[in-house]
Amino acid sequence: MAGYFFKKLLYGLLIYYSVATIVFFIFSFSFPSPDELATGQRSDEKTKEAIKKEFGLDKPIKTQYLYYINDVSFVSVYKDLKEINVSKIQLISLGGNKIVLKIPYLRRSFQTGKQVNTIIKEAFTGTLILAVSSILLATIAGVFLGCLAAVKKDTWVDRLILFISTTGISLPSFFVAIILAWLLGFVLSKYTGLNMTGNYNDLDPFRGEIFVLKNLILPTLALGIRPLSIFSQLTRASVLDVLPRDYIRTAKAKGLSKTKIVTKHVLRNSLIPVVTSISGWFASLLTGTFFVEFIFNWKGLGKITVDALDNSDLPLVMGAVIVVALIFVFVNIAVDILYSILDPRVTLE
Amino acid sequence: MSLIKISEFNAIAEDIHLVKDVSFDVDEGKITGIVGESGSGKSVTCMGITKLLPKTVKINGNVLFTKNDGKTIDLLHCNENELTKLRGKEISYVFQEPMTALNPVYTCGFQVCEAILAHQKINKNELKSKVLNLFGEVKLPDTERIFNSYPHQISGGQRQRVMIAMALANNPRLLIADEPTTALDASVQKSIIDLMVEMVKKRGMSMIFISHDLNCLKSVANHIIVMYKGQIVETGDKNKIFENPSHPYTKALMKTRPDYKNAGYILPTISDLIGQNENGEFFEKKFEVIKRNKNLIGNKILDVNNITKSYFKNSFFAKNKNSQAVIKGISFSAYSNSTIGIVGESGCGKSTLAKILTNLEKETSGDFKNLSTDKSKIQMVFQDPYSSLNPTITAGEAISEPMIVNKINSKKNTKQETLKLLELTGLTADFYYKYPHQMSGGQRQRVCIARALSTKPSILILDEAVSALDVSVQSQILNLLKDLQSKLSLTYLFISHDLNIVGYMADEIIILKNGKIEEQGKLPEILNNPQTEYTKFLINCIYN
């Protein structure tokens, strides 16, 4: 078990540093340099030099790369800790150098000068709330509907669920988002009380920052409907695969009721293949919700990434990509653990 | 007094009569054996009486069951609720394959507890001690460990004991055992059968014991029912059936069994022995016993020299850390136009040996030499013809593929050759375009044999090649293999757990135990004069 985690952690770090390296080289060569962006029309050499120096771009590319890797590492070496504005623990100091344990430092935005860590942290909270609520909706409703369809196979219930889920799969989320926003947030807003757009937190004149639950409803629906449909079809197929198994016959032969057979013996075995799909979707919801965030004006990772690309804000883009890579590594480890809980034949070794 | 009275029981699926007008009684405290081949309707009948069949199978008839409280009810007219209360409490089941019959994601203890909780109110501590007692009763070792083990962590025999404990948990009045030992090793088979008979007698229960093997019922049943094509063809007392069978099918079943005594003869198949007239009545056919020409054993063709095989568990830091020896030094020679039978229980290394000889696995040490001149390859026929053929390609493609891959023939010749191979294995040319699902089990195994022969091998490894087949099909395939051997002077390595079949096929025999050769030599000598305890034990299990 411990060996397994150690191994996974090493693989994870390998992926993390590979992504950081690829991101660094691709973006260093293909993006316009910040001195051109920041100065705009007024391009006197001295200002340019100053800006280049500020971001460390006057150094050779090799040195830049080493500095970058040092910044995004979990254990790094610094002369001066003032600039590194992330939570950190100093381990030892050697001469003038200090070795620290810290979260990756993603530098400052070219555009606003704000710490990228702070920007991503804020945006990621929004995305996380949205992704978790949609995946919960999709999983609970999808597994329930899939199970229901399989148990009621070839009846109208099954056909209705199949029809709905097939429709759900074929609808792109941005289209659903627009329809939902227009229909429930505008045409029927008198009855639903929902807004067309809105963020999860809002400033209330009396109470300060508040959490607005109702703003979560429409984006969750828009985002959750496709995974919901896919999960329900997967669950249906998986349940149909498990139902004729011998151990279900055994469960029936020992006198268990139908509900008990389905909830205890069928469901757990059927969920094993569905978990793969759920985890994949969860990871991509965490990272690719741009359209929905854009339409509902929801402050999230997708929205800031696209804005950053638009503004050629290199540190922010690189930071976002690195955070996404980290998410995938973590979700993968989590899924392995979940597998071993669901299926005792899977051991973490 | 009869505990269950089945009369005019019918099961129909898509206009096909799976079971037709089956009537029989099971008396209290008695054991009834049902024998028949697959498709005879024996399992359908026994599943049908408590409505365990899928909804697509329509059943009708009367099944009168006397409950514990003395009331008699008709099971087929009970609703699902009433049946749920009966299943596992008054009528319980033990199924064939203990690996798939237990849910892989729950512990054995949990699954037995669940069976008790479905019918009794009992507190937690009592429940556990009750299950542990049951485990002790079915002679499971280390009951506490088995209680917390998952099905994949214990052996096949132990799994079947857990199934039996589960079936006995609520003291049922009727136990239905559907081929409970077919998937187990011969030595384990006997102990499981003995256990079941002991339990049933001790508790005064009744049992229906289903088997495809008439011999298996000899030591079990008081009363025997013979089923064929969905109907009962003969029923009677055990002694009457064995000593004086009246129905042609029962007689045929006894004659068609391969055995070392009839090794020199062509095996009669069921269809050689019985026919059916226009009124659907069965009659006995005359069958003349034909002796085979004795095989002239040829030159040495395979030399296996002290092969070992170990599997290594690679850990992250060190390679080859924990090794587990599966084969511990095996040497033998094979001669052309002869058969070596390799016998052993599961886990003895017989399949690993086959994989090494076909280069599917690499031996750890030792070597083997193929001494044949013109033909070079060793081919293999596998156990289960259902899963060893790709369902999406036709028989013709399956047979020609090895020739194309090994560049043996031109494209035109390949088709010619394939048709020849089909004919050689007793199939017609139209099988060229047939898919596996359009063929019967026997036909599929013929295709597998044709595929193995397509590269013109001199040695054929038959890994349990007839174990998954019915008695009547088994004898056809065995006849085919014998014919092919004399036609093509093939060398067979016939791997099987069934000493009877090996006795019919082999000239020489190797008994494997835990990866080592326990005994090897000429077949009659070993069978008549076994040297080791283990061989004696194996022979005793089968010839009983």
Per-residue model confidence (pLDDT) at position B404: 87
pLDDT at B320: 55
Q: Looking at residue A321, what is its pLDDT?
A: 87
Most B CBs within 10 Å, among A4, A254, A258, to test the B interface: A254
pLDDT for res A36: 64
Residue A262 has pLDDT above 70, yes or no: yes
CB spacing of A246 vs B80 below 8 angstroms: no
Q: Where are the alpha helices (DSSP H) in B169-317?
A: 186-203, 214-217, 238-243, 248-255, 270-273
Report the percentage of chain B scoring pLDDT > 90. 23
Whether this model's pTM surpasses 0.90: no
Q: Which pLDDT band holds residue A247 (cuts at 50, 70, 90)? A: very high
Per the CB < 8 Å rule, is B115 touching A343? no
The answer to whether the CB atoms of B104 and A344 lie below 8 A apart is yes
Q: Which residues of B touch A (CB under 8 A)?
A: 50, 52, 54, 80, 84-89, 92-93, 95, 97, 100-106, 114-115, 118-119, 150, 152, 163, 166-167, 169-170, 315-316
Asked whether the predicted pLDDT for residue A80 surpasses 80, the reply is no
More confident residue, A87 or B520: B520
Task: Flag if A254 and B114 touch (Cβ within 8 Å).
Answer: yes
C-alpha distances out from residue B532 to A144, B267, B511, B521, Å: 60, 31, 10, 13
pLDDT digits 0-9 by tens, B279-325: 777 888 777 778 887 777 888 888 888 888 888 766 555 555 567 78
Cβ contact B115–A249 (<8 Å): no
ipTM score for this prediction: 0.81
A244: which chain B residues are within 8 Å (Cβ-Cβ)? Answer: 54
* pLDDT value at residue A216: 85
The string of DSSP codes covering B301-337 is EEEEEEEEEEEEE--SS-SS-EEEEEEEEEEEEEETT
Q: Does residue B108 carry a pLDDT above 90?
A: yes
What's the pLDDT tens digit per position in B155-198? 888 999 999 999 999 989 999 999 888 777 777 888 888 899 99
Q: Which positions in chain B touch A269 (Cβ < 8 Å)?
A: 103-105
The helix/strand/coil state of A87 is coil
Residues B158, B152: Cα–Cα separation, whole Å = 10
User: How many cross-chain Cβ pairs, A to B, lie less than 8 Å apart?
Assistant: 81
The pLDDT value given to residue B374: 57
Mean pLDDT of all residues in A147-163: 92
Two tokens, residue A269: 């075995």
Residue A40 has pLDDT above 60, yes or no: no
Location of structure tokens 């005879």? B40
Query: Mean pLDDT score of chain A, rounded to an integer?
Result: 84
pLDDT band at B276 (very low <50, low <70, confident <90, very high): confident
A-chain residues near B52 (CB < 8 A) = 249, 252-253
Mean pLDDT computed over every residue of chain B: 86
pLDDT band with cut points at 50, 70 and 90 for residue A261: very high
A343: chain B residues, CB-CB within 8 Å:
104-105
Interchain pair A269, B119: CB under 8 A = no
pLDDT at B317: 56
- What tokens were used for B326? 């599966």
Find how far residue B449's CA is from the centre of its chain: 19
Token pair recorded at residue B85: 């209360």
Give B198-234 pLDDT, tens digit per residue. 999 998 999 999 988 888 888 888 899 999 888 898 9
Confidence at residue A42, expressed as pLDDT on a 0 to 100 scale: 57
- Give me the DSSP letters along B70-109: S-EEEGGGS-HHHHHHHBTTTEEEE-S-HHHHS-TTS-HH
* Straight-line distance from the first to the last Cα atom of chain A, in angstroms, rounded to the nearest whole number: 6
pLDDT at residue number B213: 83
Would you state the structure tokens that stand for residue B332, as one six-digit string? Answer: 């033998």
* Category of A113 on φ-ψ map: left (φ > 0), alpha (ψ -120 to 50) or beta: left
pLDDT digits (tens, 9 = 90+) for A158-182: 999 999 999 999 988 778 888 888 8
Residue B318: predicted pLDDT: 55
Return the residue in B44, B105, B150 with the most chain A beta carbons within 10 A, the one to mutate for interface testing.
B105
Out of A17-31, A40-54, A319-333, B489-503, least confident range: A40-54
Please indicate whether, in this complex, the C-beta atoms of B105 and A246 are within 8 angstroms of each other: no
pLDDT band, very low/low/confident/very high, at A70 (cuts 50, 70, 90):
confident
The residue type found at B393 is I
Residue A254: which H helix or E strand, with range? none
pLDDT of B461 = 92
Phi, psi of B393 (to 5 degrees): -120, 150
Judged by phi (left if over 0) then psi (alpha if -120 to 50, else beta), residue B426 lies in left
- Report residue B393 CA to chain centroid gap: 27
pLDDT of residue A349: 65
Mean pLDDT of A209-238: 88
A235 Cα to chain B: minimum distance (Å): 18
Burial (CB count <10 Å: 0-12, 13-18, 19+), residue A113 = exposed
pLDDT above 70 for B131: yes
Separation in Å, CA of A248 to nearest CA in chain B: 8
Q: Which residues lie closer than 8 Å to B307 by C-beta, 6 or more apart? A: B327, B329, B330, B331, B353, B356, B363, B365, B366, B367, B368
Question: What is the pLDDT, as a whole number, of residue A117?
Answer: 87
Domains of chain A: 116-342 (1.10.3720.10)
**If you measure CA to CA, which chain A residue comes closest to B95?**
A250
Q: Check whether B107 has a pLDDT greater than 90.
A: yes
Cα-Cα end-to-end distance for chain B: 32
- Which candidate from A254, A255, A268 shows the least CB-CB separation from B105? A268
Over residues B98-122, mean pLDDT: 91
What is the per-residue pLDDT for B156? 85
| The pLDDT of residue A146 | 95
Question: Between these two residues, B543 and B405, which has the higher pLDDT value?
Answer: B405
Q: What does the pLDDT read at residue B289?
A: 77
Query: Average pLDDT for residues A313-334, to the nearest whole number?
Result: 86
Q: Please report which helix (H) or strand (E) contains residue A321, including its range.
A: helix A314-342
**Tokens representing B319?**
């390679």
Q: Quote the tokens at residue B11.
A: 């099961």
